[in-house]
Amino acid sequence: MNSGIENIDVDMHKGREVIYATLSNIFLNMPSNELFANVEAVFSSFELEDSADKMMKDGLKAVQDFIKSRNALSEEEKKQFDDTFLHDYTRLFCLTDSVPVAESIYLSPSHLTMQEETGKVFYIYKSCNFDMKHTSNEPLDHIAYELMFMSYLSKGIAQNIEKGNMEQVNNLMHLQKMFLEEHLLKWVEMFSKSVIGFAESVSFYAPVCYFMIGFLKDDFEMIKESLS
């Protein structure tokens, strides 16, 4: 892609919207046919350049292999598989000693949720009219909400490109750069390391994390180049 915001590609930003939303769904929603169908639709034909980070490429291939393996099962086998996978999800994200899912837990000295840090994210969301419309008690700095916020901004970028409103495109891309730099990129590797530490993550969640780390870093560099 050519540098300079005047040359940005609307389809690329529509693609970013989908990838961020899919990553968000993976960490927010329990395993289901709908979730796996979404993952398959996004990742099955996804291709990376030869120069892409090896860990990112290996993670993507492992996710694709996971989907292929599940698709090869009979309906009865899929049900048994999904029941086991639901147990894995619960072990990873739903128990008291599971993986912490909030930014403030990783960045606070005491590793406890910090209202001040959660509040910072809330005010960013509010300033952009972003609302997950969730009914759960998850903190606003949950990994899934921060990823969905990036999806929301990517959608806004694509819409404003189509309208020819390049000033707003510039504003939203600066906001994405800030949010990656000051939030997601500060803790996504720590979160991923926690996920990867569980045996239950090996077949699916660990590869997703490897892919996510590479994707976020690449996305940040793309944004910086576009704004240069």
Rounded to whole angstroms, the Cα distance separating 29 from 118 reads 21
| CA atoms lying within 13 Å on the CB side of residue 205 | 28
- What residues are paired with 102 via a beta bridge? 142
| pLDDT tens digits, 46-65 | 888 888 889 999 999 999 99
Coil, helix or strand for 199? helix
Residue carrying structure tokens 């997703």: 208
CATH value at residue 198: 1.10.3480.10
Coil, helix or strand for 102? strand
| pLDDT tens digits, 123-180 | 999 999 998 776 567 889 999 999 999 999 999 999 999 999 999 999 999 999 999 9
Provide the domain count of the chain: 1
C-alpha 146: how far from chain center: 8
Coil, helix or strand for 85? helix
Q: Domain limits at 127?
A: 5-227
| CA atoms lying within 13 Å on the CB side of residue 127 | 9
Coil, helix or strand for 70? helix
